Amino acid sequence: MRPLQITLFMVLLVVIATQTLRHVYVKWIEPKGSVLDQFREKVDEDIESSKSLDELKALYAKAHAARKAFERGRSMDEIRLARETDHEVFREDAELRAAIERVEDHERDLFKLRFYWGCGLLSIVLGLLAYAKVNRWMGMVGLATGFLEMAVWTNPLWRSRGPHGEFDRLLATKLVLSLASMALLVALWLWSERRRRRLGDAVPVLEPRANAAD
């Protein structure tokens, strides 16, 4: 049992620590500028500077109205040619629609991150109870499942062009939860090590003294 515990601890700690460093890099260190920034269209600047979905919605409403006004009174051939040649009204409409979809995806990802990280924490608590009261192997399954769930849902993000508001919220939440996961893992390991030394090497980690003979 102990070799398995050591292996799981090392693997999970390496994974979570690596992901945490990646979050730190993307949030504070990664270069964000480009020599092409001076050639960006105004719609690109508006999208990147937007702070909320409501701002993007207002921008898209204007672009959508402009596209409808452009199409009004024109033949299907003219409209198709404008689409194929990436006319400004169609380009802005498409870029703003894509930006809104990215923000909505980030909002859904943020909800799932909080939910599944919470499920991981619950699994760890139940795993500790099962380890101490029911069965050590069942407890290990609960602990491993909980920390693995945390590691999976705090996976690294890659910054791309587009609105930064919701992306930065998702990134900051992943960073905080990664640090919390790592702190919980290390604290649990240190506690179990102190308990093992106090009870003696013959007593399994986290196992109550009364079960040492099992």
Q: Does some domain include residue 192? A: yes
Q: Does some domain include residue 208? A: no
DSSP 164: -
Q: Taking Cα atoms as reference points, which of 3, 27, 12 lies closest to residue 156? A: 27
Tens of pLDDT, residues 107-161: 999 999 999 999 999 999 999 999 999 999 999 999 999 999 999 999 999 887 7
| Structural domains of the chain, count | 1
pTM of structure: 0.85
Q: Does some domain include residue 106? A: yes
Q: Does some domain include residue 209? A: no
Res. 211 pLDDT band, cuts 50 70 90: very low
Question: What's the rounded Cα separation, in Å, for the pair 93 and 78?
Answer: 17
Q: Does some domain include residue 100? A: yes
* Domain ranges, residue 160: 2-32+39-203
Q: Does some domain include residue 212? A: no
Identity of residue 140: M
> CA separation (Å) from 102 to 108, 158, 167?
10, 13, 9
Question: What's the rounded Cα separation, in Å, for the pair 53 and 71?
Answer: 26
Question: What's the rounded Cα separation, in Å, for the pair 154 and 146?
Answer: 13
Tens of pLDDT, residues 50-74: 888 999 999 999 999 999 999 999 9
H helices present in the chain, as ranges: 2-24, 42-49, 53-71, 76-84, 88-133, 136-153, 165-199
Q: Does some domain include residue 210? A: no
Q: Does some domain include residue 177? A: yes
